[in-house]
Amino acid sequence: MKIIKNTSGYDSRKLQSLFTAIHNEIAKDEGRLKHWNYLWVEIRAKSYGYSGRAYLGKVGGVEWDIFLSVSPNLTFESISQLFAHELYHSYGFNHHQFKSNPLDEKQMARLKKKFKIEDLHRVEKPKVKVDHVKLRYENAQKKLAEWESKQKRTNNLVKKWKKKVAYYEKKYTN
């Protein structure tokens, strides 16, 4: 399973971890989803509520296989049940073949032990202002040291070859 696009306020890695745990819970009853490794999930922000769509029993949608629209103030149960519901559609079940909230209380309790809704929210890292002048100055100092080293090496080579030329001039003139 791969989250191909996430514009919601939830962290993609944490959601992927939650969705994998939900799949593992469902797999205990239904077996592993045969196309789990190829499942593409897209998550979009919504102003309120939640909804989802999924292809029935197959992978191979043009862009996504499961599509979720979620608002930032959802409960943990809502997100979990929504994904489980759409995952059941990926298994090939129609609405009349499973409960609208497919995870039972025991499964939800196990998931709540591992995850908290606060942990699922994306944490914005503060941007550190970069001093470009300082970086360029340090880079210029480093390059200058490199070129001075190369200049010293070439000066030594010139001295060496001048000595050789002087030596052979003495030999050649004699």
Q: Give the pLDDT confidence of 80-132 residue by residue, as tens digits.
A: 999 999 999 989 888 898 888 899 999 999 999 998 888 888 888 888 899 99
The per-residue pLDDT for range 125-142, each reduced to its tens digit, is 888 899 999 999 999 999
Domain count, the chain: 2
Helices (H), the chain: 12-30, 76-91, 105-114, 117-120, 132-173
Residue in 63, 80, 72 with CA at minimum distance from that of residue 15: 80
Same domain, 107 and 21: yes
Q: Which backbone phi and psi does 98 adopt, to 5 degrees? A: -150, 165
Which residues span the domain enclosing 173? 126-174
Q: Which residue has the tokens 């939800």?
A: 108
Same domain, 112 and 131: no
Same domain, 114 and 156: no
Same domain, 71 and 153: no
Same domain, 15 and 96: yes
Portion of the chain with pLDDT greater than 70, in percent = 98
pLDDT of residue 120: 85
Same domain, 16 and 55: yes
pTM of the model: 0.70
Question: What residues have CB less than 8 Å from 108, skipping those under 6 apart?
Answer: 77, 80
Same domain, 101 and 135: no
Query: The CATH number of the domain where 19 resides is what?
Result: 3.30.2010
Same domain, 45 and 114: yes
Same domain, 87 and 173: no
Structure tokens at 78: 């809502």
> Cα–Cα distance between 83 and 66 in angstroms, integer?
8
Same domain, 84 and 156: no
Same domain, 100 and 152: no
With bands split at pLDDT 50, 70 and 90, how would you rate the model's confidence at 61? low
> Cα–Cα distance between 31 and 6 in angstroms, integer?
27
Structure tokens at 27: 């797999």
Same domain, 166 and 149: yes
pLDDT of residue 19: 94
With bands split at pLDDT 50, 70 and 90, how would you rate the model's confidence at 172? confident
Q: Which residues pair with 69 in a beta bridge?
A: 44, 51
With bands split at pLDDT 50, 70 and 90, how would you rate the model's confidence at 147? very high
Angle at 125 between CA 122 and CA 128, to 5 degrees: 165
